[in-house]
Amino acid sequence: MWYTKFGNMGDVVLSTRVRLARNLKDKPFPNRADKSQQEEIIDILKAAAEKIENTKFFDLSNMQEREKKALAERHIISPLLTDNKIKRGLVLSDDQRISVMLMEEDHLRIQTMHEGFAIEECLNSAMEVDDILEESLDYAFSEKLGYLTCCPTNVGTGLRISVMVCLPGITMAGRIDSLSRTLSKMGIAVRGIFGEGSQSLGNIYQISNQVTLGISEEETAQKLSEIVSEIISQERSLQQKIYLSDKFRIEDKVMRSLGTLKYSRVMGSEEALGLISDVRFGINLGIIKETNLEKLNEILYSILPAILSASYNVETVADRDIKRAEVIREKLG
């Protein structure tokens, strides 16, 4: 699948995601809709989404809990879509690059994803999907404000661009907090791998725009693109600097992490993510040659808790930790 592929600037950027929040005119927001309204809205949205090629519809209430959580861990759906409070749906393309969430916080959350640094590709693809849907749907739109959304922070473009990066260099240099503060002042959020409120694991961060009002989609993309480019070059130069400051210590650190991944028999996901980050670092610096970033991405998206549970039918934390170590060993060869 796309999310394990090595993309543009793949040494730093894991993937790019764009989402557009849209709502139907004259229909209550999902959290205000009663049971019959929920079904009515889903039916309308589902019919419109059928026109997007190579996609399938999924009724989330018929999907296994761990399957849903596994989709959320791959960022294909949001965590909110996994709860069963109301009727929710998903239109997912066969290549899993396009995911239209029905009855999330908004009626529609159009999401497009791409490996590596690919804001333009994602934005274009999202716009196309948006156009297809708009042919048959009547969006809640204000000439003055733009698209109307359930949460005021999304009003306007309804656009969130999110770039997932792995920043061992900036993190080891102790600069992540100051970077985060600086970007915050510019309307850019830095979050952990699992979004709002999530802890940073494995030095993985999501860089995303916070402003949707009074700025066009193109400007948003342009601005975020510039900022992420700057972060990439900072990260690369810090990785080199850290390495050169103590070559043996860094070689030791990344090789030990590789050894631990290859030899452990029990491993939690937090530890695994940290070790994967170290090995990424080692590959980027040319220290580690026996594996590659594509393989590491594959491991990353195989060993998260719900993904593991769903793929290998392991339920308890203890069994998962054993299976995780086994999967890592097998995939590292």
Closer to its own copies by Cβ: residue 164 or 275: 275
In whole angstroms, the minimum distance from the beta carbon of 258 to its own copies comes to 6
**Of 120, 251, 294, 298, the one binding its own copies by CB under 8 A:** 251
- Asked whether the beta carbons of 91 and 46 are under 8 A apart, the reply is yes
**H or E element, residue 221:** helix 217-245
Residue where the block lists tokens 């419109």: 48
What are the phi and psi torsion angles at 192 (to 5°)? -70, 180
- According to the binding rule CB under 8 A, does residue 255 interact with its own copies? yes
Closest C-alpha to 191, from 82, 79, 109: 79
Cβ contact 70:310 at 8 Å: yes
C-alpha to C-alpha distances, 97 to 14, 51, 138, 214, 248, nearest whole angstrom: 14, 16, 25, 28, 41
Strand order in the sheet with 188-192: 55-59, 89-93, 98-102, 108-115, 13-22, 159-166, 204-209, 188-192
Minimum separation from the CB atom of position 273 to its own copies (A):
17
Please identify, using beta-carbon distances, which residue of 196 and 252 lies nearer to its own copies. Answer: 252
Which of 47, 266 has the CB closer to its own copies?
Answer: 266
Piece in contact with its own copies (CB under 8 A), picked from 36-44, 48-56, 72-80, 248-256: 248-256
Q: Quick check: helix, strand or coil at residue 39?
A: helix
Closest CA to 11 of 259, 236, 201, 290: 236
- The count of chain residues that interact with its own copies, using the rule CB under 8 A, is 18
- Which of these ranges, 60-68, 70-78, 308-316, 318-326, lies near its own copies under the rule CB under 8 A? 318-326
Fill in the amino acid letter for 59.
D
Q: Which of 216, 249, 317, 330 binds its own copies (CB under 8 A)?
A: 249
Judged by CB under 8 A, does residue 252 bind its own copies?
yes
Question: Based on CB atoms, which residue is closest to its own copies, 149 or 277?
Answer: 277
The residue from 52, 127, 145, 322 that contacts its own copies (CB under 8 A) is: 322
- Listed in order, strand segments (DSSP E) in the chain are 13-22, 55-59, 89-93, 98-102, 108-115, 141-142, 146-147, 159-166, 188-192, 204-209
Residue type, 122: C
Does 259 sit near its own copies (CB under 8 A)? yes
| Residue 29: both structure tokens together | 């927001």
- When asked if residue 223 is in the footprint of its own copies (CB under 8 A), the reply is no
248 binds its own copies (CB under 8 A): yes
Contact status: 82 vs its own copies (CB under 8 A): no
> Which of the stretches 39-47, 94-102, 192-200, 253-261 binds its own copies when contact is defined by CB under 8 A?
253-261
User: Which lies closer to its own copies via its Cβ, residue 1 or residue 255?
Assistant: 255
Report the nearest approach of its own copies to the CB of residue 267 (Å).
8
Tokens of 232: 């990439």
Which residues ranging from 261 to 300 are in contact with its own copies (CB under 8 A)?
262-267
Please report whether residue 133 would count as binding its own copies according to CB under 8 A.
no
Looking at residues 21 to 60 of the shown chain, list those that interact with its own copies (rule: CB under 8 A): none
Rule CB under 8 A: which residues touch its own copies?
248-249, 251-252, 255-256, 258-260, 262-267, 318, 322, 325
